[in-house]
Structure 1
Amino acid sequence: MATDVTRHPNASRATGHAGDASPFALGLLLRRAHWRAAAVMAEALGPLGIELRHFAVLIELVNRGPTVQRDLVAATGSDKAGIMRVVDDLERRGLAVRKAVPGDRRVRAVEITGEGLELFDAAHVAAGPLAARLVAELGAGEPERLMDLLTRLADTPDGKPE
């Protein structure tokens, strides 16, 4: 059975292409940009034997210090089972360890190891040229402006989406 769909005269259909006036346009463009950036960063991380999901946890451990898994779930947008698998992978590689949290025998904090810090630094070195390739089509000052705009879009004063 066909449904009669009447298009609102002022409505714009989302295409995700330049000039798209749809309310979904920004999200579609951000998704495509994310896919491109993720592919470039995966290219940098591949030779180091880790994936973006591992590196996301290492970033949080460097920024926060020892962190309980539930906080890693919130910080990375992952789920509990996914974080457990990632931390298991990092432990197997000697890049992170779980340690008891004083005062709560049931909770373990994840901490980056010296080897994890070395890999973290190596990933930044490997990603440098690839990140430059990612923004090569932008003009002078545009990569910095893009970072500023995306930071302002992503970060709100209370750290939560508005």
Structure 2
Amino acid sequence: MGLPEPTTSRELLPALADAPGHLLWRAAARVTAELGTRLPAGVDIHAYAALLALAGGATRSQQAIAAMVDVSRTTMVRVAADLTEQRLVERVRNPDDRRSYALTRTPEGAAAARGWRRHAEDLEDALTAGFTPAEREDLRRLLLGIVAGELSPDTPEPLLESLGFLITRAHQRMHRAYAAALEALRIEPRHFGVLTTLTSLGPVPQAELGRQLGVSGASVVQMVDDLEARGLVERRRLETDRRTQVLHLVQPEAGEVLAEATRIAESTAAERLGGIDAAQARRLVLLLQRFVTAP
């Protein structure tokens, strides 16, 4: 599903707490973290989604499955190979193109999908432990309102019911649009978070930046390297502790870029949330805030 790096952080910077794009990124990161800790060995969420896509005797190409469950072709190649080796799917001639092959689910694959569904449902319960059934359904409905236009008409019902699937799908949809819009500024969506955090907090060490954004130290280093090369951020060593580097914005360039990136973020969010009205968008923000900050 193309998830962001996992994180255990539950904090939200006030300056980013109302930004739908940031909330979806953080929510998708939480899904990734839960996937890594909740699913037992041998259960692969991408393989499960692929088996669902082949329900009812369907025969589909790897490319079609990848598009339906929203994974990269590289991931789908690995998943298909693993499922074939386990005899959960078999390769057959593609009915739409006899020169290529497609996948069909075996009886063993159908049994595996039934067994794995319990683990997928346990994951959903863990993700929404603090939600009432009505709140959980409200979040699902709002997310579906955002992504419905991009889903295959025959997307399996268990995926349409999955908050993990819908959150990551909505995140990727928002991320792609925002990344494309930011190309003219020569920054990426993740850099927007860095610039916003430094503007809000002032100069801070790299470790504090990572804590605020809920990303690893390695990711912080890469983002700061990018922004330093772009001339928007610089590292300075503390006079009182030369081992500690503090991050400073380079003005006025950083402020100008952030102002334009903020405008683009707002317009992108308005466009990508077009399937729901303003009141629903606010409700989505509040539910995502709880999803991200839940203990």
Q: Quickly name the TM-score band, shorter chain normalised.
A: 0.7 to 0.9
The 5 Å alignment of 1:75-154 reads 75-114=212-251, 115-154=253-292
Distance 1:48 1:37 in 2: 17
Determine if contact 2:174/2:268 at 8 Å carries over to the other structure: no
The 5 Å alignment of 1:3-82 reads 7=114, 11=118, 17-18=159-160, 20=161, 25-82=162-219
Distance 1:73 1:104 in 2: 20
Task: For 2:288, give the aligned amino acid.
Answer: L
Once the two structures are TM-superposed, the CA of residue 107 in structure 1 deviates from its matched residue by 0.5
Task: For 1:127, give the aligned amino acid.
Answer: A
SS in 2 for 1:53: helix
Distance 1:153 1:71 in 2: 22
User: CA offsets, 1:69-125, max 9 Å, x none?
Assistant: 112222333333332222122122221111222421110100112211110001112
Task: For 1:142, give the aligned amino acid.
Answer: Q
Once the two structures are TM-superposed, the CA of residue 12 in structure 1 deviates from its matched residue by 8.3
Determine if contact 1:70/1:80 at 8 Å carries over to the other structure: yes
TM-score normalised by length of structure 2: 0.46
TM-score normalised by length of structure 1: 0.78
Task: For 1:151, give the aligned amino acid.
Answer: Q
5+ residue gaps, structure 1: 156-160
Distance 1:2 1:36 in 2: 33
Distance 2:268 2:236 in 1: 35
Distance 2:278 2:214 in 1: 33
Task: For 1:46, give the aligned amino acid.
Answer: E
Structure whose residues are more often helix by fraction: 2
- CA RMSD, 1 decimal: 2.7
Count of residue correspondences: 151
Distance 2:118 2:191 in 1: 41
Distance 2:87 2:263 in 1: 56
Determine if contact 1:98/1:108 at 8 Å carries over to the other structure: yes
